[in-house]
């Protein structure tokens, strides 16, 4: 069974709370990935529509609305969709539609100019099945923007904690896109060397108990400043080094902007 289909909303509530805390404290991995996604997202035209698959608590929804998109967002977690809507300013909520559904039982009633599928496929036992389905929802001339974690050698307790099934090699991810008949227009591997060193350090030091301790630190004002200070330094180095190593194969994640091959 796909991990994202397990109806355990209490589990996902705690995961989303942890991720929200991490993002609010300036997670360098999230910050760099977010920057690259918004850099690659095509400019919106009049009445452009975006589908955010596995949207979580909506980190990309408001900036996509600001770009001119109307955004539909789907997630299995009731908590995530509720938080995504509440975080939006009231004047922007009419541009957002939240949907609670597992991916294999979700079929939209329209096609989209942009589909965002960020950090989703690694949760699935059969990502090809879902990706083939999602590719059919892209409108003529539209794009599919995908991110996945890279390199099985980086597998750690953090992946287990996040309910990941895999991390992808470049060959595996490219083969997945090819089998789904998606043609990458941009293919990046990000996070080398700064974030790779961070992930390797966390892999060496972090166990499940340590992950919990970091989350506890993130909830306490007395220790939040430590995490913010560390994240600020690492984030600065990550943005600086990624200018020169964005295509390096030893990064921590892949990001691909694709079009269905039938669109030419």
Give pTM, 2 decimals: 0.90
Percent of the chain predicted with pLDDT > 70 = 89
The tens digit of pLDDT for each residue in 239-264 reads 999 989 999 999 999 999 999 987 54
Q: For residue 240, is it within any domain?
A: no
Q: For residue 220, is it within any domain?
A: no
Q: Are 258 and 144 in contact (CB under 8 A)?
A: yes
Q: For residue 195, is it within any domain?
A: no
Q: Are 31 and 235 in contact (CB under 8 A)?
A: yes
Structural domain containing residue 105:
3-21+36-190+249-263
**Total structural domains in the chain?**
1
The tens digit of pLDDT for each residue in 24-48 reads 788 899 999 999 999 999 999 999 9
Q: For residue 233, is it within any domain?
A: no
Q: For residue 198, is it within any domain?
A: no
At residue 5, the pLDDT reads: 47
Measuring CA to CA, which residue among 2, 11, 27 is closest to residue 218? 27
Measuring CA to CA, which residue among 155, 148, 237 is closest to residue 194? 237
Q: For residue 200, is it within any domain?
A: no
How many of the other CB atoms lie within 10 Å of CB of 98?
22
The tens digit of pLDDT for each residue in 189-227 reads 999 999 999 999 887 776 655 556 666 665 676 777 787
Task: State the average pLDDT over residues 73-79.
Answer: 93
Structure tokens given for 84? 């995504």
The tens digit of pLDDT for each residue in 84-103 reads 999 999 999 999 999 999 88
Measuring CA to CA, which residue among 63, 112, 59, 108 is closest to residue 84? 59
At residue 209, the pLDDT reads: 54
Name the one residue in this structure whose structure tokens are 């539909």.
72
Q: For residue 197, is it within any domain?
A: no
Per-residue b/e over 18-48, b at no fewer than 16 CB within 10 Å?
bbbbbbebbbbbbbbbbebbeebbbebeeeb
The SS3 assignment for 20 reads helix
Q: For residue 122, is it within any domain?
A: yes
At residue 1, the pLDDT reads: 41
- What's the CATH number where 115 sits? 3.40.50.150
């Amino acid at each position: 069974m796909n991990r994202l289909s397990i109806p355990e909303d209490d589990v996902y509530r705690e995961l989303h709370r942890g991720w929200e805390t991490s993002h609010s404290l300036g997670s360098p991995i999230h910050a760099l990935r977010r920057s690259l996604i918004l850099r690659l997202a095509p400019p919106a035209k009049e009445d452009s529509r975006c589908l955010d698959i596995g949207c979580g608590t909506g980190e990309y929804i408001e900036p996509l609305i600001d770009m001119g998109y109307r955004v539909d967002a789907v997630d299995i977690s009731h908590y995530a969709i509720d938080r995504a809507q509440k975080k939006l300013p009231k004047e922007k909520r009419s541009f957002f539609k939240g949907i609670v559904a597992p991916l294999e039982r979700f079929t939209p009633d329209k096609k989209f100019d942009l589909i965002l599928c960020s950090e989703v496929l690694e949760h699935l036992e059969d990502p090809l099945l879902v990706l083939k389905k999602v590719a059919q929802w892209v409108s003529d001339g539209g794009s599919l923007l995908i991110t996945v974690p890279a390199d099985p050698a980086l597998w750690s307790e953090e992946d287990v904690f996040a309910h990941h099934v895999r991390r992808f090699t470049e060959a595996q991810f490219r083969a997945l896109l090819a089998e789904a008949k998606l043609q990458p227009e941009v293919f990046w591997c990000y996070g080398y060397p700064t974030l790779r060193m961070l992930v390797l350090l966390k892999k060496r030091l972090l166990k499940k108990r340590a992950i919990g301790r970091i989350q506890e630190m993130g909830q306490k004002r007395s220790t939040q400043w430590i995490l913010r200070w560390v994240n600020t330094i690492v984030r600065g180095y990550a943005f600086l080094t990624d200018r020169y190593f964005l295509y390096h194969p030893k990064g921590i994640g892949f990001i691909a902007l694709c079009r269905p091959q039938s669109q030419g």
